[in-house]
Structure 1
Amino acid sequence: MRTLTYFIATTIDGFIAGPGDEFGFMMSVLDDEYVSALVESYPDTVSARGREAVGLGPDNRDIDTVLMGRNTYEPGLSVGMTSPYPHLRQYVISKSLAASPDPAVTVFSGDPVELVRGLKQEEGKGIWLCGGANLAGQLRGEIDELVVKVNPFVAGKGIPLFSAEFSPERYDLKGTRSFGNGVVMVTYAKRTG
């Protein structure tokens, strides 16, 4: 069965963006060591523009589907990137986006839990939950793995990693990796049984 991985960057205090959707400050940590590690470990999460820059081809190694909320999709769309991950099957989960601006992107307005359960039953590679907090909150019960890139910033306020009701769930630590830029990548697997 396919798995759903929430692969996301956050601040030390657990925000994926500022209160006005600001995330550019987290891009300042992108150095050669960190980018090389991301390309090596998670090449399928590199966007179209990034793939060209680092010489990645169209083939996927571990992931073949990406899910994102409208707020996650919007920054690329605002600069003309209508299909940010053309090497993946792309879903934008939105009740407010009426139609897809690109034939390679499916806008889905239904229940994201049902969508993920259906995708998990299909043959294929992994499914990547790209963001955001509201979608992650809705899909929290379906997330099999968390890969959290903890950036060396404290934001104080912003969009949390998850936007959901209080309901603690236990995950098991699979690994950590730290970088010279101060980022710590932590991988967790949902505890089963």
Structure 2
Amino acid sequence: MRKLVYYVAVTLDGFIAAEDGTYDGFIFEGDHMAGINAHYPETLPTQFREPFGLTDAPNQHFDTVLMGRHTYQVPGGLASPYAHLRQFVVSTQVTGTPSDVEVISSDAIGRVRSLKAEDGLDVWLCGGGKLAAELLPEIDRLLLKIHPVVFGRGIPLFDGKADIRKFQRTDARLFESGVSFMTYDRV
């Protein structure tokens, strides 16, 4: 069975974006970028794969991506940001998406359960915080890129009411850039 993996950048104080949805405070240069791109090339938006020499890089961990409305409609975003993956947007407000982006407008947990039951690579939840809180019962793994920055306020990692879930750290990678890459599996 496939896993639902919440793979996201986060600040030291637990935010995945600033209040306005931007993420300019994150570190986009340094040894962590090469390390992460080599291990998770499919998490780069399609438009950035060629400049990073990853145009033909196979998907190693994910073949499906889930996004909340704000993650999908990030300022300056693309209509099909991950064309190399099967794309889903969970929203009751998004309309007019390209044919390769499916909108899930109800029963997100049921749809995630059906995706997890399919054959294939894992399902990547790339944001946002509200969707992560809603899907927490189905999240099997957290992959957190922890940046050495504090936003003070913004969009939290889990934005909303969620029941307590325990996770166990199963891997840790530290980079000279100050970014740490932590893996937690649901207990």
TM-score band by shorter chain is over 0.9
Paired positions, count: 186
**SS state of the match for residue 126, structure 2?**
strand
Paired with 1:83 and 1:114, the residues of 2 have a C-alpha distance of 24
Which one of 75, 85, 88 corresponds to residue 85 of structure 2?
88
Report Cα offsets for 1:168-187 as digits up to 9, x if no partner: 21111111111111111110
- Structure 2: state its 5+ residue gaps: none
Sequence identity of aligned pairs in percent? 40
Paired with 1:155 and 1:39, the residues of 2 have a C-alpha distance of 25
What amino acid sits opposite 2:49 in the alignment?
A: R
What are the equivalent positions in structure 2 for 1:23-62 lying under 5 Å apart? 23-26=23-26, 29-56=27-54, 57=56, 59-62=58-61
Whether the 8 Å CA contact 1:58–1:87 is kept in 2: the answer is: no
Superposed displacement of residue 60, structure 1:
1.7
Paired with 1:58 and 1:40, the residues of 2 have a C-alpha distance of 9
What are the equivalent positions in structure 2 for 1:18-167 lying under 5 Å apart? 18-26=18-26, 29-56=27-54, 57=56, 59-75=58-74, 78-79=75-76, 81-100=78-97, 102-167=98-163
Give the ranges of 4+ consecutive aligned residues of structure 1 lying more than 3 Å apart after TM superposition.
none
**SS state of the match for residue 133, structure 2?**
helix
Whether the 8 Å CA contact 2:171–2:183 is kept in 1: the answer is: yes
What are the equivalent positions in structure 2 for 1:174-189 lying under 5 Å apart? 174-189=170-185
Whether the 8 Å CA contact 2:30–2:177 is kept in 1: the answer is: no
What amino acid sits opposite 1:187 in the alignment?
A: T
State the superposition RMSD in angstroms.
1.4
Report Cα offsets for 1:133-175 as digits up to 9, x if no partner: 0100010010000001111111111110001325321111111
Whether the 8 Å CA contact 2:16–2:155 is kept in 1: the answer is: yes
What are the equivalent positions in structure 2 for 1:11-22 lying under 5 Å apart? 11-22=11-22
What amino acid sits opposite 2:20 in the alignment?
A: G
What amino acid sits opposite 2:41 in the alignment?
A: P
**Higher helix fraction (1 or 2):** 1
